[in-house]
Amino acid sequence: MTNEDKALFEELKAKPTRELKPAEKAKLKSLERLAKKEQQADTPKPKRNNTFGVTPTTKLASVPFRISGEEKSIMTDTAKRIAGTELFYDRLGGKDDLSNNTQMRAALRAYDKLSDEEKVEAIREAKLSMARAQR
């Protein structure tokens, strides 16, 4: 804002609003906007840290775990096999709905439906798979 604009702004601001003509009111409004923009530009904005992927953005509890190459290939093969079916597109909509995260959540829901004996057997197989992956 130039010095002339600042002087005009102060002059218009000093007058009572009732005495201002419509053109003067419009000019006052535009000068107020300019002054507000200058004031916002002068105040430093707080610097945001790049915390994407570091700070959780949801209230979900994060559970870090590693999967072996064999387990990764199981997930990849399953995703490819399921993505090729009409049933998948009819019920879920698109291939974006078949992420590793979604597959793990679905696996947990399926695991919950197993009997205790089936769960113990699945855990035994997982332990054997982990032992093989460490070699």
Sequence ranges of the domains in the chain:
3-42, 69-134
Q: Which residues of 91-118 are buried (b: 16+ CB within 10 A; e: fewer)?
A: eeeeeeebeeeebeeeeeeeeeeeeeee
Per-residue confidence in pLDDT tens, the chain, 135 aa: 788 888 888 888 888 888 888 898 999 899 999 989 888 887 777 776 666 666 666 777 777 777 888 888 888 898 888 887 888 878 877 767 788 888 888 889 999 999 999 999 999 988 888 787 776
CA distances from 60 to 2, 63, 100, 114, 133 (A): 52, 9, 16, 24, 29
pTM score of the predicted model: 0.49
